[in-house]
Amino acid sequence: MQTHIESPHPLDFQTPPPQAPRYIILPGVSWETYQRLLADLQDSHAAHFAYDQGRLEIMVLSAEHEEDKDVLTLLVNVLAEELGIDVRSFGSATFQRQDLARGFEPDACFYIAHEARVRGKKKLDLAIDPPPDLIIEIDISSPSLNKFPIFAALRIPEVWRYDGRRLTIFTLAGETYVECTESVALPLVTTEVLGAFIEDSKQMPRTAWLRRVRAWVRAPRA
């Protein structure tokens, strides 16, 4: 059964438990202020920003958050390589539309179906360039700003969200997201497969883990 994303939690400020990313949500922030913050902190990798029509979230990232992001980024790249699919990563680049008063920085993002359209580009403008085909969101704290309305407004086709225990795939259907068991961007890839590989990565040496991922893709299928 398809699962629709509900409205965000009404609290504007939360202090998550130790080891979780820390964030604050500020209401009444103008687009100009958001742009100044992005410009002032453009070389900082310690925080991510999300802007939704006047509400600004600032999230400070933890080591656990970054480790999960790195595992999933590596997993996407290896799976795409083994499947013979061209993929281009833009990391945590800022994506925004002033006309929609929305913007965000994913934990990781990938161009797959539209890889050829952004090949060789150093900067992207969503007024003329397509949005990423897949983004990854690591959310290991209590629910913060609901970013799905931002993703939907910017027409992100697929979102993988990992909460530290479970990975969920969401695909865009009209103006909202529905939960799915299979990836659209990467054939053969399911939440069950991804979850197993994530758990393996916590127990295995990295090189052995990569060999297991590659062996799974190459294994004969009926």
| Burial category of 199 from C-beta neighbours within 10 Å (exposed 0-12, middle 13-18, buried 19 and up) | exposed
Task: Give the percent of the chain with pLDDT over 70.
Answer: 87
Q: Is 64 helix (H, G, I), strand (E, B) or coil?
A: helix
Task: Give the percent of the chain with pLDDT over 90.
Answer: 77
d(CA 180, CA 158) in angstroms, rounded, equals 10
Tell me the torsion sign for CA atoms 141, 144, 148, 151: negative
180-203 tens-digit pLDDT: 999 999 999 999 999 999 999 999
Pairing label, strands 158-162, 167-173: antiparallel
Question: Alpha helices of the chain — where are they, by DSSP H?
Answer: 31-40, 63-83, 115-118, 148-153, 191-203, 206-218
The domain segmentation of the chain, as residue ranges, is 62-218
Bridge partners, 23 (sequence order): 59
pTM: 0.87
Q: Which residues of the chain have pLDDT under 70?
A: 1-21, 44, 141-144, 222
- Report which of 190, 203, 182 is spatially closest to residue 71, judged by C-alpha positions: 203
139-182 tens-digit pLDDT: 876 556 799 999 999 999 999 999 999 999 999 999 999 999 99
Q: Is 128 helix (H, G, I), strand (E, B) or coil?
A: coil
Q: Return the CATH number of the domain spanning residue range 62-218.
A: 3.90.1570.10
d(CA 169, CA 188) in angstroms, rounded, equals 13
